[in-house]
Amino acid sequence: MKFNIIVCGVGGQGSILSSRIIADAAITKGYEVRVGETFGAAMRGGSVSSHIKIGDIHSPLIPKNKADIVLSMEPLECLRQSVEYLSPEGIVITNTKPLYPVDVNIGISNYPTLDQVKENLLKLGSEVYFIDALDLAMKAGSEKAANVVIIGALSALEKLPVRREDLLSAINERVPKKTIDINIKAFDLGYEAMMKQ
């Protein structure tokens, strides 16, 4: 069994934590797991992606066009990673709220519309889902839980080789103790949002 997941976003959005939660859940089920990370020019605000390989592993990074799933905290980063890594049969789940880079904020560059991002993502994967993770995280109690909203949405698809309970257990172990309730609520809201799609 081989299963490849890319988790991406920009620095500060929690994509590294998300990858660790998924990896921990897979490890507890007895799978061999490797996580490889790549960082853009800046830790906070720069591009960040994690490659999670579960099962038969020969290298830490996912080959081009071999990702079974791309999870993203930021829509344009999702498109960038999907163009390079997503399998034609792959699944995409992305937050709909953009986080504009500095050059867009100062008017040097343009950011595509969400409709343009959606249109291009729909050409790349077999299933593409859009979740307003930031809004759901705020309902859970903190915008910092948007990454866990996305994990909850992924869990609802039942495509991972781990169950909902395994992910919840990993969340309990990984997030700060004072934020466990918020993160569990964020997970549940993401799960429910996906079940409605």
pLDDT of residue 107: 85
pLDDT above 80 for 105: yes
In this structure, the number of other CB atoms found within 10 A of the CB of residue 107 comes to 7
Percent of the chain scoring above 90 in pLDDT: 81
Which residue from 16, 17, 68, 24 is spatially nearest to 47, judged by alpha carbons? 16
Helix (H, G, I), strand (E, B) or coil at 127: strand
Q: What is the CATH number for 84?
A: 3.40.920.10
User: If you search the block for the tokens 């720069």, which residue do you land on?
Assistant: 46
How many separate domains does the chain show?
1
Q: How far apart are CA 71 and CA 29, in angstroms?
A: 21
pTM (predicted TM-score): 0.93
pLDDT of residue 133: 98
Q: How far apart are CA 8 and CA 71, in angstroms?
A: 6
Domain extent, residue 16, equals: 2-195
Percent of the chain scoring above 70 in pLDDT: 96
pLDDT tens digits for range 20-70:
999 999 999 999 999 988 766 545 567 889 999 999 888 888 999 999 999
